[in-house]
């Protein structure tokens, strides 16, 4: 289970209590754990975090679980029971950070508001991730990542004009919220260090995390009354940047810098377009995007992806193939940067998982523990908290812990 030879990471010494489940909260703690923090994950006895059963399973456990829950300890506690909540309150008194992604009001209903928890732990930083935030008229509505993606403006832009909006193929809303939450935690830690050791609440709404990444969407509407529309694989207003057909698939070409565009046109033997004054800057090119895309597509459709990429590389023009999981697994650059790591599950399955991001030069993150089995660390963590064997046995007997 342990990999003690791995470097500890820049967040070594920080203790984090995770009460969340599924994606947003646990992805935030996974990020902190990769960078060295100690993560204590509280799961309900019985089935544990539902993510254990999501998508493809091996020996009854999702292989996704092996990524999301590495570097974590699993403590099985029933938060529906007052005895279980008392155990968690004692844990919360001993950590630096608590992460939860329940519906607003849930902690308060358990008598674990931030005000109550910070009485015994004034330095506590509480990350709260929810669909719509802890305030406002929508705060009590349920909100998963897909709802946040829609309300944040992303879903409307995803797809082709006149067709049903499509979702990004992963839970991007949850992940964006988790990353914003991680940024908030690090900012709160810095402030705590600078100003007397007091903690605070970090409030992240799924829709706001998505909206924060929507670039010029709102300013364009505010200034010009323009509602940005879906555009398929193109990037409207930035030309050329699109997907183009080849003999064996599709290739992405990003030739939207002025000098890059000229090199691209010379590479496809369209020097006339390279010298055309209409296309000397992005504004002019964007007004004639269809003409430029047609010229590039006429060239790419006569070549293989490899031939196109070779020509682009020689011309110093950004381009790339569209990777599948197989492409990622076989790519030497991924492996050269340790972005594919080997692990072994608790059930003995050898597995490749994504590496650590970001990469720090002096104190890099690492995978120090495989993902835990449900309740694997209950006795270890609670014993360190002062629970003796008889108390643990009694709590287990009445179903509070597992």
| Residues acting as catalytic residues | 174
Radius of gyration of the chain (CA): 25
Q: Which residues contact 188 (CB under 8 A, 6 or more apart)?
A: 125, 199, 200, 202
Query: CA-CA distance, 243 to 321, in Å (whole number)?
Result: 9
Question: Closest Cα to residue 185, out of 121, 132, 118, 127?
Answer: 127
Tell me if residue 195 falls in helix, strand or coil: coil
Phi-psi region of 137 (alpha: psi -120 to 50; beta: other; left: phi over 0): alpha
Q: Which residues contact 378 (CB under 8 A, 6 or more apart)?
A: 74, 75, 76, 77, 392, 401, 402
Question: Closest Cα to residue 398, out of 84, 67, 69?
Answer: 84
Buried residues in 234-255 as b, exposed as e (16+ CB within 10 A):
beebebbbbbbebeeeebbbbb
Query: How many angstroms from the chain centroid is the CA of residue 369?
Result: 20
Q: Tell the burial category of 351 from Cβ atoms under 10 Å away from its Cβ (0-12, 13-18, 19+).
A: middle
Query: CA-CA distance, 112 to 45, in Å (whole number)?
Result: 20
Query: CA-CA distance, 95 to 91, in Å (whole number)?
Result: 7
Q: Judge contact between 242 and 295, C-beta under 8 A.
A: no
DSSP 350-395: EEEEE--SSPPSSS-----BPPPPTTTTHHHHHHHTT--HHHHHHH
Helix (H) or strand (E) holding 99: strand 97-100
Q: CA-CA distances (angstroms) from residue 265 to 45, 95, 256, 289, 292?
A: 62, 58, 11, 14, 9
Q: Where are the beta strands (DSSP E) in 164-215?
A: 201-205
Question: Closest Cα to residue 100, out of 47, 24, 171, 175?
Answer: 24
């Amino acid at each position: 289970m342990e990999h003690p030879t791995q470097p500890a990471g820049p967040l070594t010494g920080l203790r984090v209590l995770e009460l969340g489940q599924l994606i947003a909260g646990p992805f935030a703690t996974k990020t902190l754990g990769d960078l060295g923090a100690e993560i204590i994950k509280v799961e309900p006895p019985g089935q544990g975090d539902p993510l254990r059963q999501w998508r493809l399973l091996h020996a009854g456990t999702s292989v996704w679980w092996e990524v999301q829950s590495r570097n974590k300890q699993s403590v099985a506690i029933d938060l529906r029971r007052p005895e279980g909540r008392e155990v968690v309150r004692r844990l919360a008194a001993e950590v630096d950070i608590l992460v939860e992604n329940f519906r607003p009001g849930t902690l308060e209903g358990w008598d674990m508001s931030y005000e109550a928890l910070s009485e015994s732990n004034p330095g506590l930083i509480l990350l709260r991730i929810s669909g719509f935030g802890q305030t406002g008229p929508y705060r009590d509505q349920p909100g998963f990542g897909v709802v946040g993606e829609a309300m944040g403006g992303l879903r409307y832009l995803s797809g082709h004009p006149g067709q049903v909006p499509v979702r990004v193929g992963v839970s991007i809303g949850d992940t964006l919220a988790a990353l914003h939450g991680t940024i908030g935690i690090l900012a709160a830690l810095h402030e705590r260090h600078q100003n007397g050791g007091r903690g605070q609440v970090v409030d992240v709404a799924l829709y706001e995390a998505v909206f924060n990444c929507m670039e010029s969407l709102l300013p364009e509407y505010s200034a010009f009354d323009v509602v940005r529309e879906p555009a398929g694989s193109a990037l409207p207003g930035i030309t050329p940047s699109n997907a183009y057909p080849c003999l064996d698939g599709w290739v992405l070409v990003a030739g939207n810098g002025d000098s890059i565009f000229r090199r691209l046109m010379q590479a496809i033997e369209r020097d006339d377009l390279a010298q055309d004054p209409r296309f000397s800057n992005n504004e002019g090119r964007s007004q004639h995007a269809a003409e430029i895309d047609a010229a590039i597509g006429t060239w790419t459709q006569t070549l293989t992806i490899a031939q196109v990429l070779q020509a682009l590389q020689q011309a110093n023009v950004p381009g790339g193939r569209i990777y599948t999981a197989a492409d990622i697994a076989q790519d030497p650059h991924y492996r050269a940067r340790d972005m594919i790591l080997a692990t072994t599950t608790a059930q003995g399955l050898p597995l490749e998982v994504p590496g650590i991001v970001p990469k720090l030069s002096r104190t890099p993150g690492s995978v120090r523990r495989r993902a835990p089995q449900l309740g694997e660390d209950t006795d270890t963590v609670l014993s360190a908290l002062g629970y003796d064997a008889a108390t643990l046995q009694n709590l287990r007997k009445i179903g509070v812990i597992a």
